[in-house]
Amino acid sequence: MNAYLEERRYRIAVWIVIASEALLFAGLFALYANYRTEYPHAFGEGVQEDIQWMGGANTFILLTSSFMIAYAIHLMRHGRAAIASWLLIGVIVCGGAFLVLKLAEWGQHAHEGIVPGIGYYTGTFHGRGTVLFFTLYYLMTGLHALHVIAGMFLVTWVFLRVRARTITPERHMALELVALYWHFVDVVWVFLWPMFYLMRV
Amino acid sequence: MSKSPPSALVLVLTFVALVVLAAASWLLSVAGTGTGVALAIAAAKALLIGLFFMELVCGHATDRTVAAVAVLFVVLLTVGMLADVAYR
Amino acid sequence: MSNFWNEPRGLKSWLLTRDHKRIGVMYLFTVIVFLMLGGAFALILRLSLVEPNNALVSAHTYDRLFTHHGITMVWLFMIPSIPSAFGNILIPLMIGARDVAFPRINLASYYIFVIGAITVLVALVAGGVDTGWTFYTPYSAASATAVTCAALGVFITGISSILTGLNFIATVHTMRVSGMRWRDLPLFVWTIYATSIILVLATPVLGLALLLVGADHAWALGIFDPASGGDPVLFEHIFWFYSHPAVYIMILPGMGVISEVVSTMSHRKPAWYGAIVFATIGIALVGFLTWGHHMFVAGISTFDAGLFGILSMMVAIFSAIKVFAWTSTMYGGRITISTPILYVFTFIFLFVFGGMSGVAVATTSLDVHWHDTYFVVAHFHFIMVGGTLTAFLAALHYWFPKLTGKMYSEVWAKLACAAVALGFILTFTPQFLLGNAGMPRRYATYPPQYQWLHVLSTAGACLLALGMLTVLLYLIVAVFAGTPAGDNPWGSKSFEWRSPSPPPHENFPAPPVWNTRTDGPYAYEEET
């Protein structure tokens, strides 16, 4: 089996995984769109309750991490494996920072009584639409966070392989494929950010 | 790769464009408008990431097809549901 | 004689195999077990329905029986049956490959399937679920039964489906033998490819639906609970976005089997190969546009209902193309009357009626009366049993000599085929009448005027069960004591028949050199 076909095999597989993951989120995006249509005012209010600076910071963090991993591949192709591996550390740090901020935001919400499920009914919570907004908020950012965690494991794995030189400037397909997954995780957040932080009206 | 992958300059420019677009959508939201625009900007950012970071611009047609179909189907589910909820 | 059964030897070589043929066989045995389990549930249901006041089971047990009949049949038999079993065994052989693209992922998909199936069985043992296989909210969130466990089990089998689909797509794209273009592919490969597209795109949506049901059940999130402002119909949208394409996962591979058997037994190349391929992809894609027809009376907007009604009719066009192509292939030919072709005739007959009843229920104004009655139950059993199960039986009988090198008893096989066909017709035709007369589905008891139709249906179910058991018995006997059949008893030109039967462990000692254009899978001598 020649190298071109072998690469096609793996690349098709990873794109299919990404497509599958996109479809996993699809129902949640659809629910948001539909519940927002039913409760536009409540959803707008919910957006305003979310912590702006955290959402913005997380967006910047993920965009930067995407750039870093894309540049790491560029460097790897040009033989600069050492610098590439530092960029990969940067990606992992970004992922960690993202998760820390996310947890902090959840903690803040919980402190205000916005806890999904039973918490809603004992919290200071008003409006059935706002309840749905925050249920979707937790579900979508939670599912996304799980994917960030999975992505961090994958990036750590390729980082270790770069260090062990089983990923090299000549053979680094695994790095490219993991990067695809990481970019997908970024793309999901690109949509979550406006949905939960920007769309106030 | 059927064509050559994005150069370092393209990667940097893409990143700058992404940050600029993000800032724009934030400013619009602070100004209290732009719900639809925010989503459009998000779509533009996703396209940039897909084309240049994920290298769809120079990749195999099959990969572009898979990506396009995935997006189409997310839209399909959302629209099919909206055709219900919005018209009740 | 060395073949994939005995080389390599030992239990460990089976449990850790990467051989697609062994994995396919393991899937085959497993799905047959679940077919029997699902069938057992059905038989109990049918027996209990002989009496209007149902002395056999309580209403609660009845609910759990039809739920688990559905879950077992849909996810533990129908979805994996032809693709994961026959697809695995045959795709590499049909395209000249050593194995599938990712053999270890293939094995993982099998074990993941088994883990999911066991999880579903745990839910059964823990008292069973009573929500119906569709897990509709808000009841699924409130039901005091093992909903989360069953949903988790199905979710896990979904992962197996996605991995299988991914494997097949990568295999067909990159592992065809040199010189084999897409237009040279056997039709069975096309249908598995199209099925795989559905598997990877639709299954994740089911995954989300089940995650939401589980989360709602465990943490009372209320996403679909009207009391919290939720909308149960939205769950139905998400659920059916998967579950409608799922029925095409169930029928497309069956259609692939039919295409292969028709060509081989008629000794002719398929009529309108291009149209069949077009119809195959058409079914896979258009199948995603029709899910709302399960929800005509759920409270969706009239606009949405009308839209889905029209789109649903379109799918029938592709099915019709296929039926005409098959009959056209056979027309005027010299057909070998063997058990596989008898199952094909049964398939075409029952699929046409099932399909027409599908167009009928796709008509919104008519479905308003038939929805949630036995009419719908009859429709989908005509397709799933009359279609998929019949095609599965055709596949079993057609490729039996390929897998074992032996032949079963033609006499018993034809008898069993008759029992299956007649038993099926007797079971489900009365159900069209029952539904049309107003008998609702999922009811344990009913008014006495429906009894005679129920009795007929149950009698049919007993005959069907007898036929199926007979099939199992003579096939088992044939495995051990069947007459040697040679490498290609049907005289097929299809590529999987060009290796020894059973095939050797490594499929092809060297990459095969096939002239796919002049000596392709359908290169039968033209008759004068």
Q: How many CB atoms lie within 10 A of CB C418?
A: 14
Separation between Cα atoms, residue C426 and residue C258, nearest integer Å:
23
Taking CB atoms and an 8 Å limit, are C292 and B69 in contact across chains? Answer: no
DSSP code at position C440: B
**pLDDT reported for residue C225:** 87
**8 Å CB contact between C45 and C462:** no
Query: Could you give the 3-state DSSP secondary structure of residue C483?
Result: strand
C-alpha closest to that of C475 among C28, C7, C142, C15: C28
Separation between Cα atoms, residue A85 and residue A73, nearest integer Å:
10
* Axis-axis angle for helices C232-266, C374-383 (nearest 10): 40
DSSP C314-377: HHHHHHHHHHHHHHHHHTTS-----HHHHHHHHHHHHHHHHHHHHHHHHSHHHHHHHTTBHHHH
Q: Report the gap between the CA of C162 and the closest CA in chain A (Å).
A: 8
Taking CB atoms and an 8 Å limit, are A20 and C209 in contact across chains? Answer: no
C114-129 core/surface letters (b: 16 or more CB in 10 A; e: else): bebbebbbebbeeebb
Architecture of the domain whose range is C11-498:
Up-down Bundle (1.20)
Q: Which of residues 62-101 of C touch B (CB under 8 A)?
A: none
User: Under 8 Å CB-to-CB from A5, ≥6 apart: which residues?
Assistant: C174, C175
Q: Which of residues 26-55 of B touch A (CB under 8 A)?
A: 26, 28-29, 32-35, 38-39, 41-42, 45-46, 49-50, 52-54
Taking CB atoms and an 8 Å limit, are A22 and B71 in contact across chains? Answer: yes
CB pairs under 8 A between A and C: 96
User: Under 8 Å CB-to-CB from C516, ≥6 apart: which residues?
Assistant: C177, C179, C180, C181, C184
Separation between Cα atoms, residue C234 and residue C342, nearest integer Å:
43
Judged by phi (left if over 0) then psi (alpha if -120 to 50, else beta), residue C491 lies in left
Average pLDDT over residues B4-18: 95
Average pLDDT over residues C108-114: 98
Q: Report the gap between the CA of C301 and the closest CA in chain B (Å).
A: 5
Average pLDDT over residues B5-15: 95
| Radius of gyration from C-alpha coordinates of chain B | 16
**pLDDT reported for residue A2:** 84
Chains touching B by CB (3 or more pairs below 8 Å): A, C
C132 has pLDDT over 70: yes
Taken in order C132, C135, C140, C144, is the CA torsion positive or negative? Answer: positive
Chain B hits for C233, CB-CB cut-off 8 Å, are: 84
Residue A104, chain B, CB below 8 Å: the answer is no
Strands C406-407 and C483-484: antiparallel
Separation between Cα atoms, residue B80 and residue C237, nearest integer Å:
8
Chain C hits for B77, CB-CB cut-off 8 Å, are: 205, 237-238, 241
**pLDDT reported for residue B1:** 45
Tell whether B3 is covered by a domain.
Answer: no
Separation between Cα atoms, residue C203 and residue C208, nearest integer Å:
9
A124 has pLDDT over 80: no
Residue A45, chain C, CB below 8 Å: the answer is no
**8 Å CB contact between C116 and C153:** yes
Tell whether B56 is covered by a domain.
Answer: yes
- In a 13 Å sphere around the CA of C66, the CA atoms on its Cβ side amount to 20
Partnered with residue C440 across adjacent β-strands are C373
Q: How many CB atoms lie within 10 A of CB C227?
A: 8
Judged by phi (left if over 0) then psi (alpha if -120 to 50, else beta), residue B70 lies in alpha
Which member of C173, C200, C220 has the closest CB to residue A8?
C173
**pLDDT reported for residue C220:** 83
**Optimal mutation site among B84, B85, B88, interface C, most CBs of chain C within 10 A:** B84
Taking CB atoms and an 8 Å limit, are A67 and B53 in contact across chains? Answer: yes
C-alpha closest to that of A54 among A137, A143, A172: A137
Element (H, E) at C406: strand C406-407
**pLDDT reported for residue A112:** 82
Comparing alpha-carbon positions, the chain A residue that sits nearest to C168 is: A13
State the total domains in chain B.
1
Q: Report the gap between the CA of B29 and the closest CA in chain C (Å).
A: 27
Residue C406 — φ and ψ, nearest 5°? -125, 170
Chain centre to alpha carbon of residue C274: 24
Q: Which of residues 284-313 of C touch B (CB under 8 A)?
A: 288-289, 291-292, 299-304, 307-308
DSSP code at position A198: I
C200 has pLDDT over 50: yes
**8 Å CB contact between C444 and C62:** yes
**Optimal mutation site among B13, B14, B18, B87, interface A, most CBs of chain A within 10 A:** B18
DSSP A99-148: HHHHHHHHHHHHHTT--TTHHHHHTT---HHHHHHHHHHHHHHHHHHHHH
C177 has pLDDT over 60: yes
Provide the residue range defining the domain that includes B36.
8-85
Taking CB atoms and an 8 Å limit, are A198 and B29 in contact across chains? Answer: yes
Domain boundaries, chain C: 11-498
Top-confidence residue, C116 or A118: C116
Look-up: residue for tokens 């018993």? Answer: C412
C443 has pLDDT over 70: yes
Separation between Cα atoms, residue B17 and residue A91, nearest integer Å:
19
User: Under 8 Å CB-to-CB from C50, ≥6 apart: which residues?
Assistant: C451, C454, C455, C458
Q: How many CB atoms lie within 10 A of CB C39?
A: 20
Share of chain C above pLDDT 90, in %: 89
Taking CB atoms and an 8 Å limit, are C229 and A16 in contact across chains? Answer: no
Q: Is A95 exposed, middle or buried (0-12, 13-18, 19+ CB in 10 A)?
A: buried
Chains touching A by CB (3 or more pairs below 8 Å): B, C
Residue B56, chain A, CB below 8 Å: the answer is no
pLDDT digits (tens, 9 = 90+) for C399-423: 999 999 999 999 999 999 999 999 9
What's at A73, amino acid-wise? I
C-alpha closest to that of A135 among B61, C432, B52, C230: C230
Average pLDDT over residues A42-57: 90
A3-198 placed in CATH 1.10.645.10: no
Average pLDDT over residues C222-228: 86
Chain A hits for C207, CB-CB cut-off 8 Å, are: 24
pLDDT digits (tens, 9 = 90+) for A18-46: 999 999 999 999 999 999 999 998 898 88
Taking CB atoms and an 8 Å limit, are C237 and B80 in contact across chains? Answer: yes
Which member of B69, B70, B81 has the closest CB to residue C234?
B81
Comparing alpha-carbon positions, the chain A residue that sits nearest to C226 is: A128
Cα–Cα distances in angstroms (integers) from residue C18 to residues C21, C86, C89, C101, C103, in the given order: 9, 16, 12, 11, 5
DSSP A59-109: HHHHHHHHHHHHHHHHHHHTT-HHHHHHHHHHHHHHHHHHHHHHHHHHHHH
Average pLDDT over residues C241-250: 97
pLDDT confidence of A1, banded at 50, 70, 90?
A: low
Separation between Cα atoms, residue C131 and residue C133, nearest integer Å:
7
CB pairs under 8 A between A and B: 131
Chain A hits for C230, CB-CB cut-off 8 Å, are: 132
User: How many residues does this entry show for chain B?
Assistant: 88
C170-198 core/surface letters (b: 16 or more CB in 10 A; e: else): bbbbbbbbeebeeebbbbbbbbbbbbbbb
Tell me the two tokens of residue C338: 């063997």
C445 has pLDDT over 70: yes
Taking CB atoms and an 8 Å limit, are A135 and C221 in contact across chains? Answer: yes
Average pLDDT over chain B reads 93
Query: Could you give the 3-state DSSP secondary structure of residue A39?
Result: coil
**8 Å CB contact between C398 and C261:** yes
Average pLDDT over residues B7-20: 97
Average pLDDT over residues C179-200: 96
**pLDDT reported for residue C333:** 84
**Optimal mutation site among C212, C288, C289, C302, interface B, most CBs of chain B within 10 A:** C288
Tell whether B41 is covered by a domain.
Answer: yes
Separation between Cα atoms, residue C459 and residue C451, nearest integer Å:
12
Taking CB atoms and an 8 Å limit, are A63 and B42 in contact across chains? Answer: no
Average pLDDT over chain A reads 92
Tell whether B66 is covered by a domain.
Answer: yes
pLDDT confidence of A50, banded at 50, 70, 90?
A: confident
Query: Could you give the 3-state DSSP secondary structure of residue A23?
Result: helix
pLDDT digits (tens, 9 = 90+) for C39-85: 999 999 999 999 999 889 999 999 999 999 999 999 999 999 999 99
Partnered with residue C407 across adjacent β-strands are C483
Which member of A22, A37, A67 has the closest CB to residue B74?
A22
Tell whether B64 is covered by a domain.
Answer: yes
**pLDDT reported for residue A122:** 47
Average pLDDT over chain C reads 95
Taking CB atoms and an 8 Å limit, are A21 and C228 in contact across chains? Answer: no
Partnered with residue C484 across adjacent β-strands are C406
Which member of B26, B41, B82 has the closest CB to residue A33?
B82
Tell whether B1 is covered by a domain.
Answer: no
Taking CB atoms and an 8 Å limit, are A19 and C200 in contact across chains? Answer: yes
Taking CB atoms and an 8 Å limit, are B84 and C292 in contact across chains? Answer: yes
Average pLDDT over residues A53-73: 97
* Per-residue H/E/C for A154-188: HHHHHHHHHHCCCCCCCCCHHHHHHHHHHHHHHHH
